[in-house]
Chains A and B, each alone.
Chain A
Amino acid sequence: MSKLPELVRKHERDLQAGWLQHMPASVRRSDLIKDAELQSQTRDFLGALVEGVRSGFLTDLDAPAWEKARELMRSISASRAVQGFTPSETAAFVLALKQPLFHIIRKELAANPDELFQEIWNATLLLDQIAMFTTEAYAASREQLIKRQQEELMELSTPVVKLWEGIVALPIIGTLDSARTQVVMESLLQTVVQTNSRFAIIDITGVPTVDTLVAQHLLKTITAARLMGAECIISGVRPQIAQTIVHLGIDLAQVITKAKLSDALALCLQKSGRTVVRTATRKTHAEAANGKGE
């Protein structure tokens, strides 16, 4: 039977004092966290630790007895992620408990080397696990943040603009992945129905790279638009992208592609039986303006 629970309970005060005292300045980071908060964190943590080790499951953090400790570490990690600690600083916070804990174990069990070794081994296993858990919790809270930002970005970046009666354009900025294609496709098709547009121009000037997957997503969107009775034109194909497309062997033969958005618009106008006529040359325009002034 391990003596660890008993030792921790007996020396809880000393442990907390030792922990705070021996914490290296790089881990302490008094610029990021206040003394009072740190003290309450260490106190709560030791309380949870006592409860956990008392259960006897010294190496199994998934046991129900550790629930409180896990919850506590999760909230500490999350708050430290927000405060600007690095993951290693967060883990080092827990690992800094080793020194005072080993110190106490040595003091109590100096007479029995076998037992001393065993308890130190138990303690080190336990604290390593908790430290790893904090790193994981830290990463999880970061991940959540990234996911939320991704969603916000997605909503931000799929505008559909009407260029002319019956002609809409969809400038795509950023990389096209499956989730974004879905949003792009839906908003494009919705707009086609709402504005009753026969032509849709997808402008890929802002798409950094086109690989087979992106091309496949584009083709899907174009096919869906065609099924609804709208014609799709891809514009904004940069020279490098044209090269990539050919090198990858992507077949865009079924799709009309144009280098510039203006070319695509001109084609749409032509196809819908419209022409754009210049009403005056620059010179006559200037003369007209002068004549007005006199």
Chain B
Amino acid sequence: MERIPILRMGSFLLVTIQVDMHDRLALQLQDDLTQKIAETGAIGVLIDISTLEIVDSFIGRMLANIAAMARVLDAETVVVGMQPAVAITLVELGMSLEGVRTALNVESGMELLYELRGNFRPELTDEAVEG
């Protein structure tokens, strides 16, 4: 079964969605991501959806849910690279994704995460080197 890879960058997690999002994949991602946050103690999650062209209300809600779950696990979520058509669709669906932070691209998303988490740079800690 296909999965969306979750990459670890120091104390941040990077998720790049490069396939069509269907409902089961979304639920799988939700599972994997919460698991990974708990496992690694990540303090930030960056979700890149720049190649996502179609969204529905379910995917929209899933993004909001992931952000809320991450918050409970003490990690900030930033969604980056949303396409104009996707943004318009979500607004028309009445989903403004309150509580989800957004940025234009991965670069500014990372900057935002650093900002949110003070100056905590994801330097490789001893633990990370071992892991």
Contacts and interface: CB of A to CB of B under 8 A. Distances in A.
B7 to A, nearest CB: 20
B90 A229 contact: no
Given A192-B104, A229-B109, A223 B91 contact: yes
Given A220-B91, A223-B91, A223-B96, A228 B84 contact: yes
Contacts of A230: 104
Interface in A168-209: 185-186, 189-190, 192-193, 196-198
Contact of A227 (B102, B105, B108, B109): B102
B80 A227 contact: no
A181 to B, nearest CB: 10
A228 B102 contact: yes
Contacts, number: 55
Contacts of A186: 84, 88
B81, B88, B97, B109: most-surrounded residue (chain A CB, <10 A) = B88
Interface residues of A, number: 18
Interface residues of B, number: 20
Contacts of B104: 192-193, 196-198, 228-230
Interface of A is mostly: helix
B15 to A, nearest CB: 16
Interface string B83-95: 1101110111000
A126 interface: no
Interface of B: 79-84, 86-88, 90-92, 96-97, 102-105, 108-109
26 contacts: A186-B88, A189-B87, A192-B84, A193-B83, A193-B104, A196-B104, A197-B104, A198-B104, A198-B108, A220-B91, A223-B91, A226-B96, A226-B102, A227-B87, A227-B90, A227-B96, A227-B102, A228-B87, A228-B104, A229-B79, A229-B80, A229-B82, A229-B105, A229-B108, A229-B109, A230-B104
